[in-house]
Structure 1
Amino acid sequence: MDRLRRGSPLVRFLVRRILIAVLLVWGITLVTFVLTNLVPGDPVAANLGQRAVADPAIVAQWRADHGLDKPLPQQYVLHLESLLHGDLGTSQQSHRPVGDDLAEFVPATLELAGAAITVSLVLGVVFGLIAALRRDRLPDHVLRMLSLVGISVPTFWLALVAFYVFFYRLQITPGSGRVDPGLGAPESITGLYTVDAALTGRWDIFVSAVGHLLTPALVLSLYTIALLTRFTRSAVLEVLGQDHVRAGRAKGLPRRVILRSYVLRSALVPIITVAGLAFGSLLSGTVLVESIFAWPGVGQYAYKSATTLDLPAIMGVGLVVGVVYLVINLIVDVLYGVIDPRVRLR
């Protein structure tokens, strides 16, 4: 402990964040368990049907098999014990371990959300920088109008329009799924089809996977691009008026140096914060896009689990999404220290 206190401020800061994250994970398990069990509806009826529910012996046996015959506090303790052993329970629908189901579906959502946030960061930061540097000129007005449209258009409506126009009418994009049906999935290494296809040298699958990924990723990224454009514009405009930027200009530094080392570096801290939250939202908000494009991700898995009251699966999805948010926040904290020296010295 003494070594930790005498160590780097950034290390102490990260250790505190990790300890807080552990407590938050416990809180996530408690919240997901309580909310799942407060959902109205009978999981017995949802899984067995009305005829089986009419037989008390069948109902009692089903509840005993799934641990629902015990008091809720005891159920929660057993749930925590299982989690500590890496067991998320068994899905009442697929009859497979929830961990195995999530290992199959989560990489698909990570691939889709990762592509969307990458496109969003590149385009959002570039557009926001252009709008700030051309303040109150034609490019600024055009980008502000387009960003307003991007924030206002519902994602599910845009997904339907994109699928109908580009696939059904123009036939210039692939259909649903992650790859063409005739190719099949690549050898599983990471679960990300584009990465696995590249690692195994299956470039035909790689091209097909990128083609299937492009349209849903662009649709999903539109809102985030618009959000980052507006936020980057505001952050850059604020930095442009600060003393250190004016001092750099007074020294006669080249424009690109001022933009890269003075403006962008100072503006990146709030931009990274928004990007981290946006990535978490993309992971947890892909349900409609995945349904429209038949993308076999965690969004569809969560929806089917919710409609059938598959309690272990619902709690597993809630835990995974919560942990993803915590990991993203931890990464953002590390990036703070890399970008802003005040965090390293504080």
Structure 2
Amino acid sequence: MSSKKELFKYILWRLTLLPIMLWIISSLVFILLRIAPGDPVDAILGTRANEFARESLRIKLGLDQPLSNQYIEYLNQLIHGNLGISLNTQEPVKVIISKALPASLELALFSILIASLVGYLIGFSGALKPEGKIDFLGRIFGIGTYALPPFWAAMLVQIIFAVLLGWLPIGGRLPPGVIPPPTVTGFLLLDSVLDKNIEILFSSIKHLILPSVTLGILLSGIFSRSLRLNLEEVFKKDYIEAAKSRGINYKKILIKHALPNTLLPMLTITGLTVSSLIGGALLIEITFSWPGIALGLQEAINQRDYSVVQGIVIIISSLVVMISVVIDIAIAYIDPRVSY
């Protein structure tokens, strides 16, 4: 950015586009769910219910109204923060999401932490000696982890570390029958700390290790390859060639000149990966019976609970859009060379 005024205009422009993007996403969700096969009345009452019961429920759900009226009412409810009522449990959708979202966030954050540490370490180690053994193994690791099917990797990890070795639990957030601490934040680790319950804290950590490490390792290949490729691009720049011509040590050039210039694209990749993981770790959550929002989405789809599906998709999409906007603003603020 050439000036603070341009930066302010860019931030204002991005924030202005935010509600428009959310409106477009919400409208697409509404349309897609309405044209999808299946009837929510059949999902609740079954196909053998009498016509009077079916029609009464259709009126109660507002499905007897014209599509335009349903859309207006839908937007009105969204503006007021009402995501509807579950068709199966009659529980408010926002309550269902508030219970499941912290579990997904907890898993996503720890997975990203592991992926970043492992991926960046491998990518940086390979860059220290290009075309060396570590660099070659790092490339194989990056391709291999990216290509592994998540469900297969998760089951393999469960068989080895939970079934054969018995080191860690096979799934869930807590052992069956264990009462969780009082919900304050929804994050089990933090709530157990606030409740000063050390037993629950260690138990929740043990349950978190397998899914977070599995997902983190699968993602680490993306980080290692991205860092390595960005470093390769940076090393082609003129200022790197100038530093080499002055006889500066390769390691010093890598750490002081090349690495800082890869931080912005890596920040973008990390941020978008976090946002996509909130609802994208479906196979991992299902395999490890992790009670997150992705597992909740899968169950709602199976039960044709359109209200829950609608609410979860809107929340996930909104989080992805908002995180993307925050990343764009952060990059524009950090890097003065960026122009829009």
Q: The TM-score by the shorter chain falls in which range? A: over 0.9
CA–CA separation in structure 2 for the residues paired with 1:179 and 1:256: 46
CA–CA separation in structure 2 for the residues paired with 1:273 and 1:232: 12
Moved more, 125-134 or 230-239: 125-134
Q: Deviations over 1:293-339 (max 9, x none)?
A: 11111111111111122111111011011111112202211331354
Q: How does 1:227-242 map to 2 (within 5 A)?
A: 227-242=222-237
Cα shift at 1:12: 2.0
Q: Deviations over 1:231-252 (max 9, x none)?
A: 1101012112323334455667
Residue 245 of structure 1 aligns with which residue?
A: 240
Counterpart of 2:109, as a letter, is G
Residue 71 of structure 2 aligns with which residue?
A: 76
Secondary structure of the residue aligned to 1:186 is coil
Q: How does 1:249-268 map to 2 (within 5 A)?
A: 258-268=253-263
Counterpart of 1:286, as a letter, is A
CA–CA separation in structure 2 for the residues paired with 1:171 and 1:334: 46
Pair 1:138-2:117 in alignment: no
Residue 209 of structure 1 aligns with which residue?
A: 204
Residue 290 of structure 2 aligns with which residue?
A: 295
Percent identity reads 30
**Equivalent of residue 309 in structure 1, options 304, 312, 326:** 304
Q: How does 1:36-51 map to 2 (within 5 A)?
A: 36-51=33-48
CA–CA separation in structure 2 for the residues paired with 1:184 and 1:262: 52
**Equivalent of residue 60 in structure 1, options 55, 64, 67:** 55
Moved more, 57-66 or 206-215: 206-215
> What residue ranges of structure 1 are gaps of 5+ in the alignment?
1-5
Change in CA separation of 1:219 and 1:66 when aligned onto 2, cut-off 3 Å: same
Query: Is the CA contact (8 Å cut-off) linking 1:28 and 1:322 kept in structure 2?
Result: yes
Counterpart of 2:154, as a letter, is A
Residue 336 of structure 1 aligns with which residue?
A: 331
Pair 1:10-2:26 in alignment: no
**Equivalent of residue 107 in structure 2, options 92, 102, 112:** 112
CA–CA separation in structure 1 for the residues paired with 2:102 and 2:137: 36
Q: Deviations over 1:280-302 (max 9, x none)?
A: 33222222211111111111111
Change in CA separation of 1:156 and 1:49 when aligned onto 2, cut-off 3 Å: same
Q: How does 1:140-219 map to 2 (within 5 A)?
A: 140-181=135-176, 183-219=178-214
CA–CA separation in structure 2 for the residues paired with 1:8 and 1:300: 45
Moved more, 251-260 or 130-139: 251-260
Pair 1:129-2:138 in alignment: no
CA–CA separation in structure 1 for the residues paired with 2:192 and 2:129: 42
Moved more, 102-111 or 183-192: 183-192
Counterpart of 2:123, as a letter, is G
Counterpart of 2:97, as a letter, is L
Pair 1:34-2:31 in alignment: yes
Cα shift at 1:273: 2.1
Query: Is the CA contact (8 Å cut-off) linking 1:248 and 1:258 kept in structure 2?
Result: yes
Residue 98 of structure 2 aligns with which residue?
A: 103
Cα shift at 1:8: 3.2
Counterpart of 1:30, as a letter, is S
Cα shift at 1:75: 0.5
Pair 1:321-2:305 in alignment: no
Counterpart of 2:27, as a letter, is L
Change in CA separation of 1:186 and 1:257 when aligned onto 2, cut-off 3 Å: farther
Counterpart of 1:27, as a letter, is I
Residue 3 of structure 1 aligns with which residue?
A: none
Moved more, 97-106 or 125-134: 125-134
CA–CA separation in structure 1 for the residues paired with 2:56 and 2:256: 67
Q: What is the alpha-carbon root mean square deviation over aligned residues?
A: 2.0
Change in CA separation of 1:24 and 1:302 when aligned onto 2, cut-off 3 Å: same
Query: Is the CA contact (8 Å cut-off) linking 1:159 and 1:289 kept in structure 2?
Result: yes
Residue 21 of structure 2 aligns with which residue?
A: 24
Query: Is the CA contact (8 Å cut-off) linking 2:169 and 2:206 kept in structure 1?
Result: yes
Secondary structure of the residue aligned to 1:51 is coil
CA–CA separation in structure 2 for the residues paired with 1:249 and 1:187: 59
Query: Is the CA contact (8 Å cut-off) linking 1:265 and 1:339 kept in structure 2?
Result: no
Query: Is the CA contact (8 Å cut-off) linking 2:63 and 2:70 kept in structure 1?
Result: yes
Count of residue correspondences: 338
CA–CA separation in structure 1 for the residues paired with 2:168 and 2:277: 22
Counterpart of 2:182, as a letter, is E
CA–CA separation in structure 2 for the residues paired with 1:243 and 1:198: 51
Moved more, 279-288 or 297-306: 279-288
Moved more, 58-67 or 242-251: 242-251
